[in-house]
């Protein structure tokens, strides 16, 4: 079968065989299938979907496009976390050092910004010199030495995802359960983990807008992982407003550093501690959730998580001077305040619009070739439920890019809905799922 015939078959909603899926992934990775044909295929999957068997075959083909890392020589449980993508979602930056500071081995392979959502790799690279492209042997050695390593897909690890991810980012083909499942799980199955905690985001800033779709995605991710012998827990979390206050790359890194130094916004601290607690009980099942949560919060306050973060930055060649002087980071040309047009309460913040505004000011990519402007970002001063008075600053847009600045500011203005009555706040964690379905959250 040619790529053309496979595209037609999927376009016409037919089931693909394992060999067809493997051929497509291998030939695309090898550069034998051009981006325009792969884009058409991705769009066909977006509309026609894939069943669980096809999704699993796609995941395994993507995993096997590179090496499956062996970490058996490192004692201890290896546990990672991955998010399906959100706005202001900087949890991994804090969580990896936090969990490692508690004795969990954290082999983390992350992605770049995707669509309107930010990516851990871009945020890490906002630290000058930070190298996310370590070789497999450097990855293994770093894990042995400091218990944590944060890298991206490479020519050796899930290279098919590296190429497909970049293509999906700019072709409107992200919001697809089979494509997200295969993208996430191909990386996770390649990194040599024993267990995984997933953050499946739900809401206007997530790829899954409804709870039902998010639960379906979580079920797929859990089943793929468990069928490969990994213990998987998924938390369905609210993404109806940005997490924390900062949206961008350096601005999110800075908020993460402040959180690691014990001074983070409540929602970010709570959620990060919850993820850390789940990672810890997967690594050390003798602990209760409450004990694991308590230890996680303590290490955010007592400096141990921050010390581990410094070790990570040093090992990856990052500039630690910039961390000692956060204000020394390059300033943006513009800092535009977005103000409230009336008195009231913030009823909602459309985070898709906030994320798209971020893309317009260079915090994300519009084409595969776009470079990121690390200092561009949006600071959210007012969150859902906050009282505001007319003229008060809701958010500030930071950038040095003039082009599209006005449209970006308009998007932020329109993202805010202000009304008379205080809204009900949704919980941060909407549900917890494992291989048996929904867990009782007490
Ligand atoms: N994270 C990934 O790694 N892939 C996706 O498709 C979405 C989020």
Q: What's the pLDDT band for 153 if we cut at 50, 70, 90? A: confident
Nearest CA to ligand 1 atom 2: 184
Question: How many A from CA of 59 to the centre of ligand 1?
Answer: 12
318-354 residue pLDDT tens: 999 999 999 999 999 999 999 999 999 999 999 999 9
Query: How far, in Å, CA of 357 to CA of 378, rounded?
Result: 8
Ligand 1 contact via 164 beta carbon (within 6 Å) = no
Residue 73, helix vs strand vs coil: coil
Ligand 1 contact via 268 beta carbon (within 6 Å) = no
106-132 residue pLDDT tens: 999 999 988 889 899 999 999 999 999
Q: What kind of architecture, by CATH, is found in domain 79-324+428-436?
A: 3-Layer(aba) Sandwich (3.40)
pTM to 2 decimals?
0.95
Contact 344, 350 (CB under 8 A): no
Query: How far, in Å, CA of 13 to CA of 31, rounded?
Result: 26
- The pick from 165, 175, 199, 355 for probing ligand 1's pocket by mutation, whose C-beta has the most ligand atoms within 8 angstroms, reads 165
Rg (CA), the chain: 21
Average pLDDT for the chain = 96
Is the CATH code 1.20.970.10 the one for domain 3-49? Answer: yes
Query: What is the per-residue pLDDT for 55?
Result: 98
- How many angstroms from the chain centroid is the CA of residue 33? 28
Q: What's the pLDDT band for 185 if we cut at 50, 70, 90? A: very high
Topology of domain 331-419, per CATH?
Answer: Aldehyde Oxidoreductase; domain 3 (3.90.1170)
Q: What's the pLDDT band for 89 if we cut at 50, 70, 90? A: very high
Contact 105, 71 (CB under 8 A): yes
Ligand 1 contact via 346 beta carbon (within 6 Å) = no
Ligand 1 contact via 184 beta carbon (within 6 Å) = yes
- The pick from 63, 89, 174 for probing ligand 1's pocket by mutation, whose C-beta has the most ligand atoms within 8 angstroms, reads 174
Ligand 1 contact via 238 beta carbon (within 6 Å) = no
Question: How many A from CA of 432 to the centre of ligand 1?
Answer: 19
Torsion sign over Cα 5, 10, 15, 21: positive
Q: What is the DSSP string of 106-161?
A: EEEEE---BTTB--HHHHHTTSTT------HHHHHHHHHHHSEEEEE--SSSSHHH
Domain limits, the chain: 3-49, 79-324+428-436, 331-419
Contact 165, 153 (CB under 8 A): yes
The residues annotated with a catalytic role in the active site are 82, 161, 168, 183, 187
The percent of the chain in helix, strand and coil, each rounded to the nearest 5, is 45, 15, 40
**Ligand 1 atom with the shortest distance to the CA of 207:** 7
């Amino acid at each position: 079968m040619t790529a053309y015939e496979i595209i037609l078959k999927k376009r016409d909603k037919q089931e693909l065989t394992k060999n067809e899926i493997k051929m497509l992934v291998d030939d695309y990775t090898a550069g034998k299938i051009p981006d325009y044909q792969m884009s058409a295929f991705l769009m066909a999957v977006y509309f026609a979907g894939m069943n669980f068997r096809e999704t699993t075959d796609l995941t395994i083909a993507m995993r096997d496009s590179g090496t499956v890392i062996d970490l058996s020589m490192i004692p201890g449980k290896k546990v990672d976390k991955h998010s399906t993508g959100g706005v202001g979602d900087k949890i991994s930056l804090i969580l990896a050092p936090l969990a490692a500071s508690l004795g969990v081995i954290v082999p983390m392979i992350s992605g770049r910004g995707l669509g309107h959502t930010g990516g851990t790799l871009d945020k890490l690279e906002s630290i000058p010199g930070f190298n996310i492209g370590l070789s497999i042997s450097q990855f293994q050695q770093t894990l042995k030495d400091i218990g944590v390593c944060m890298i991206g897909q490479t020519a050796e690890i899930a290279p098919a995802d590296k190429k497909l991810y970049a293509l999906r980012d700019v072709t409107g083909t992200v919001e697809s359960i089979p494509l997200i499942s295969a993208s996430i799980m191909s990386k996770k199955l390649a990194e040599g983990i024993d267990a995984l905690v997933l953050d499946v985001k739900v809401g206007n800033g997530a790829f899954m807008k409804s709870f039902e779709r998010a639960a379906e995605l979580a079920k797929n991710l859990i089943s793929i992982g468990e069928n490969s012998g990994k213990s998987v827990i998924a938390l369905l979390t609210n993404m109806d407003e940005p997490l924390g206050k900062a949206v961008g790359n350096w601005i999110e890194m800075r908020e993460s550093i402040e959180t690691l130094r014990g001074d983070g916004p409540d929602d970010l601290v709570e959620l990060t501690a919850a993820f850390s607690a789940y990672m810890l009980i997967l690594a050390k099942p003798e602990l209760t959730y409450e004990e694991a949560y308590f230890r996680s919060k303590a290490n955010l306050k007592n400096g141990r998580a921050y010390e581990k973060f410094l070790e990570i930055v040093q090992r990856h060649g990052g500039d630690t001077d910039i961390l000692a002087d956060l204000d020394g980071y390059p300033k943006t040309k513009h800092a535009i305040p977005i103000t409230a047009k009336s008195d009231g309460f913030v009823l909602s913040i459309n985070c898709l619009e906030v994320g798209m505004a971020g893309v317009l000011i260079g915090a994300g990519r519009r084409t595969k070739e776009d470079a990121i402007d690390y200092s561009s970002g949006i600071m959210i001063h007012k969150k859902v439920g906050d009282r505001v008075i007319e003229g008060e600053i809701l958010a500030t847009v930071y950038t040095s890019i003039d082009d599209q600045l006005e449209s970006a500011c308009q998007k932020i203005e329109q993202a805010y809905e202000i009304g008379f009555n205080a809204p009900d706040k949704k919980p941060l964690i909407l549900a917890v799922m494992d291989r048996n379905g929904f867990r009782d959250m007490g």
